[in-house]
Amino acid sequence: MKNRNKKSGDSAFSNVMMIVFGILALWAIGWVFKQELIAISDEGGITLNHILFIIKFVLACIVTGACYIIFEKSKKVKALKEKEYDEKILKKVIAELVPNAMFDRDKCIQPEALYEKGIIPRHDTYRKLGVLSYQKEGKEYGFSDIHLLRSKEDKDNRTYYETIYKGQVYIVNYATELQGTVRIFATRRMAVINVETDDGYVSRRKGERKIETENIMFNDNFDVYATSEQSAFYVLSPYVMEQLLEMKKKYNQVGVYISGNNVVISLNTDNIIFPKKMYFNDRETEYLQEAKGEVKKVLRMAEVLENTINGSIKNNFTNTIK
């Protein structure tokens, strides 16, 4: 319902803007004619220059109005073509490879919640790029591209937005047997003074304590917060730490949040897997091949991440029981 209201709201806003533009254009034309009539009256009659000026002004208004209408129409055509791509290509491929999956372009895994979990950095705005959700072996999976932006000011105090994070978020909902929460995120060191910085991530949250491992390299690259030391070491096996270090080398920013019911992993890959694309009939075969590769990439990555984290938890709990 919210998405429909937003779309109708955007359409209504566009219509209102066209009406406002039309009124302003008519007012401008009327004002110019009034000034010209005054000039004609003062000069005692109409001259060729007056006629030429009025003609040029009217033509300029017509051209400007036409350009605005063409721009608005092109935006609508682009939106329709992008929707056509999602329906004819992306959703078709998803249904083929993951029969029970759903993809909603107008939604995303909410960055506000991810920031509160402490696995993505502070941001001022974001772009919605769609959510893929599906079930497998009794588990619920969610995937979303994520594009975060932070506001800045240039030397003239004008505000602009800069991309600070572009990547993916994976969520798996299932009973992990883990008590409390564990949170892991990549840090960086300031080159000049060699001081660790959290780079805009939430540091310690209520009920958490910072955990240090025996792996010095891991400690230099990641911060770990958990509600108990035992829970953290259930997750942080040598294998998991090795894999996370490799991910950081590749993606720079990595975040992991684990609770009793879900695992959330974020990766700053500097890439959007499901970008918006316009559909053209003569490129359908190409689109289908590309989309299959994109969906398979998501499924492979979700499996690798889940096996890395969940395998460690299972093994450590099994060793504890023994």
Asked if the model's pLDDT at residue 13 lies above 80, the reply is no
The SS3 assignment for 182 reads: strand
Q: How many helices (H) and strands (E) does the chain have?
A: 8, 12
CB-based burial, 76-97: b 16+ in 10 Å, e otherwise: eeeeeebeebbeebbbbbbeee
* Under 8 Å between Cβ of 131 and 142: yes
How does DSSP assign 204-260, residue by residue?
PPTT-EEE--S-HHHHHHEEEEES-HHHHHHH--HHHHHHHHHHHHHHS-EEEEE-S
Label residue 15 by pLDDT band (50, 70, 90).
Answer: low
Tell me the mean pLDDT in the region 161-188: 87
The pLDDT of residue 47 is 67
Longest distance between any two alpha carbons in the chain, whole Å: 108
Q: CA distances (Å), 285 to each of 46, 80, 99, 291, in order?
A: 65, 20, 21, 10
What HEC string does 137-177 produce?
CCEEEEEEEEEEEEEEECCCCCEEEEEEEEEEEEEEECCCC
Arithmetic mean of pLDDT over the chain: 80
The rounded distance, in Å, linking the Cα atoms of 142 and 307 is: 16
The pLDDT of residue 312 is 55
pLDDT tens, position by position, 66-100? 887 888 888 899 999 999 999 999 999 999 998 88
The rounded distance, in Å, linking the Cα atoms of 259 and 225 is: 12
The SS3 assignment for 47 reads: coil
Tell me the mean pLDDT in the region 277-303: 89
The pLDDT of residue 172 is 87
Report residue 301: phi and psi, to 5°.
-65, -40
The pLDDT of residue 29 is 65
The pLDDT of residue 126 is 93
Tell me the mean pLDDT in the region 265-292: 92
The pLDDT of residue 221 is 92
* Under 8 Å between Cβ of 256 and 184: yes
The pLDDT of residue 310 is 63
The SS3 assignment for 269 reads: coil
Asked if the model's pLDDT at residue 215 lies above 70, the reply is yes
The residue behind tokens 């060729």 is: 48
Label residue 168 by pLDDT band (50, 70, 90).
Answer: very high
The pLDDT of residue 261 is 80
Asked if the model's pLDDT at residue 21 lies above 60, the reply is yes
Asked if the model's pLDDT at residue 165 lies above 70, the reply is yes
The pLDDT of residue 304 is 79
The SS3 assignment for 184 reads: strand
- DSSP conformation class of 205: P
3-state helix, strand, coil in the chain (%, to 5): 50, 20, 25
The rounded distance, in Å, linking the Cα atoms of 70 and 73 is: 5
Question: Quick one: how far is CA 106 from the chain centroid?
Answer: 11
